[in-house]
Structure 1
Amino acid sequence: MANTVISLRGATKQFGGLVAVDNVSFDVREHEVLGLIGPNGSGKSTTLNLISGALPATDGEISLRGGTITGLPARAIARKGVSRTFQLVRLLPSMNVLENVMAGGVFGHRRRWGQSAERHAMQVLEMIGMADKAKSHVGQLTYIDTKRVELARALSGEPEVLLLDEWLAGLNPTELTEGIDLIHRLRDEGRTIILVEHVMDAIRSLCDNCVVMSSGKKIAEGSTDDVLSDPEVIRAYLGDDDA
Structure 2
Amino acid sequence: MTAVALSVNGARKAFGGLVAVNDVSFEVREGELFGLIGPNGSGKTTMLNLISGALRPDAGEIVLSGTRISGMPAHKIARQGVARTFQLVRMLPAMDAEHNVIAGAVFGHRRLWGAQAREAAHELLALVGLRGREHVPVAAMTYIDQKRVELARALASDPRVLLLDEWLAGLNPSELNIGIELIAKLSEQGRTIIMVEHVMDAIRSLCGRCVVMNSGRKIKEGDVEDVLADPEVVEAYLGDDDDA
What is the TM-score normalised by the length of structure 2?
0.98
Correspondence 1:26 to 2:2:
no
Residue 67 of structure 1 aligns with an amino acid whose one-letter code is: T
Residue 194 of structure 1 aligns with an amino acid whose one-letter code is: I
Alpha-carbon offset, residue 131 of structure 1: 2.2
Alpha-carbon offset, residue 28 of structure 1: 0.2
Alpha-carbon offset, residue 114 of structure 1: 1.6
**Range with greater deviation from structure 2 (186-195 or 121-130):** 121-130
Residue 90 of structure 1 aligns with an amino acid whose one-letter code is: R
Q: Where do 1:4-153 residues align within 5 Å?
A: 4-153=4-153
What SS does structure 2 have at the residue aligned with 1:131?
coil
Alpha-carbon offset, residue 242 of structure 1: 2.4
1:20-62 C-alpha deviation (Å, 9 max, x unpaired): 0000000000111110000000000000000000111111000
1:128-184 C-alpha deviation (Å, 9 max, x unpaired): 221210000112212221111000000001101000000001111111111111111
1:68-88 C-alpha deviation (Å, 9 max, x unpaired): 001000100000110000000
Residue 219 of structure 1 aligns with an amino acid whose one-letter code is: I
Q: Distance in 1 between matches of 2:191 and 2:144?
A: 22
**Aligned residue in 1 for 2:232:** 232
What SS does structure 1 have at the residue aligned with 2:132?
helix
Alpha-carbon offset, residue 126 of structure 1: 1.9
Identity %: 63
Q: Distance in 2 between matches of 1:65 and 1:137?
A: 36
Q: Where do 1:162-241 residues align within 5 Å?
A: 162-241=162-241
Given that 2:94 and 2:139 are in contact with CA atoms closer than 8 Å, whether structure 1 keeps it comes out as: no
What is the TM-score normalised by the length of structure 1?
0.98
**Count of aligned pairs:** 243
Alpha-carbon offset, residue 205 of structure 1: 0.5
**Range with greater deviation from structure 2 (131-140 or 95-104):** 131-140
Q: Distance in 1 between matches of 2:218 and 2:170?
A: 26
Given that 2:81 and 2:161 are in contact with CA atoms closer than 8 Å, whether structure 1 keeps it comes out as: yes
CA RMSD in angstroms, aligned pairs only: 0.8
